[in-house]
Chains A and B, each alone.
Chain A
Amino acid sequence: MSNSVTERNTHVTMDPAALKADSRRKMTIGEIIAFILLICITITMIFPVVFMVSTALKTSKEMLQFPPTIIPRVFAWENFRTLFANEEIKFGILYKNSIIVAVVSVIGTVFSSALVAYGFTRYRAKGKRILFMLMISTMMLPYPAVMIPQFILFSNLGWVNSFLPLIVPTFLGSAYQIFLLRQFFMSLPNELYDSGRIDGCTEFRLFWKIALPLSGPALATVAIFTFIWTWNDLLGPVLYLSSQEKFTLPVGLAAMMSSKFRIAPYNLLMCASIMTTLPIIAIFASAQKHFTEGIVLTGIK
């Protein structure tokens, strides 16, 4: 995406003839070496993905074969059907649950974090710095340290085996995302708010109509991060969810390789992995432009 931006710029600054000449220009030795190197690195990076797809299409006998085949002798497309039809895996339900939890968490995190970050940016108050430090310090606590007290809390609320322990906390802000958004909001000039106020905006409207629309890239970053985290989260769902109807994808995937006494159905597992990574790839691809901008912009300030 960033390439297209620079390309567009060259169109503007260079005349077409010069551009044509530039594209016909011979590559230097250094560039050739760099390209070869990059291609090699790309291949090593892509190989696991190729192997994932290849294993996904193997029969359970071929998957155990040595030496392993890269291109399956028989393409076992029915693995995908088996995955969705299997009564024990219930892949469709896992998928649905993961989407519910991830989407609601994204909404919750973006809204609540933006609100808190806005407050931290716009207002002066006694002890604001201490509050901010306190909030930032919660980032230092690893999940396993708070896991059990939190579990006891939610268990006493009667929330176990529901999505609530996974969703409700996201409506209470995430320290990391608040920090990220605060840095972005600080870059917005105060004059904007002043003019908004002159036009009679309420404080919430300033937030809603000025701060948020101008923060597209930062919000996209927060949304993508949150989506990926919740999409991949395993320990939380394992602790709080106990019936098969509530499980999310990572729980299902972990279960598929949980047996100590049987060979895991790696071909089905790889089918499941492909299906699981697709949404992340799709979301990242569609939001990539905003995402990279977001990281750059928040980084500068």
Chain B
Amino acid sequence: MNKGLTLRNVCILRGQSPLIEVDYNISEGEVLTVMGPSGVGKSTLLAFITGTLPSGFKGMGQVLLDGEDITSRPPHQRHIGILFQDDLLFPHMSVGANLAFGMPAGGTMTARRAKIDTALADVGLSGYSDRDPATLSGGQKARVALVRMLLSNPSALLLDEAFSRLDAELRAQVRDLVFRVAKERKLPVLMVTHDGEDAKAAGGKIIELESLTKN
């Protein structure tokens, strides 16, 4: 059985024409970087993996997570975490409520609360639980988004240009944090980016996508 995230003969079509093709196995703790100019369909690939492919696109091939075929599972049963370039913290929930939303149900309120507080402390945000996410700085929001995703116990991690909104210094910090945590938890990571620095920092294999539909 293959541990990790496997993309087996994945091909995504827009209408009739093929957009991207990928065939790769990302093992535990490995980071696969997919690079390419915008409009080439990088985010579409991630949408196929999360099960949220927009209408007008068609995906073929299989997505396997730890050897299990999840291609036809609904999005919420895939256990694949995703981070976008925007933090996408739910603006109507406090920081703590955002984290609680992501945690699997179960456990007493005190236990859940304690878990949230510890997780926040781990990323240097002790005491932020009751804060309005809109009052946080960009770096803090990015860290909360990461913690929220990790608390949901994902089995793989997707990064959709996740660091591109952050300025250079912060970017390196957040990026190192994400990669470190992913290694610790042995998560296979698929990163989509157009930034060479991100790819270098990931240190894994890089797939350069080019447009299959030549104009």
A and B part of one assembly: no
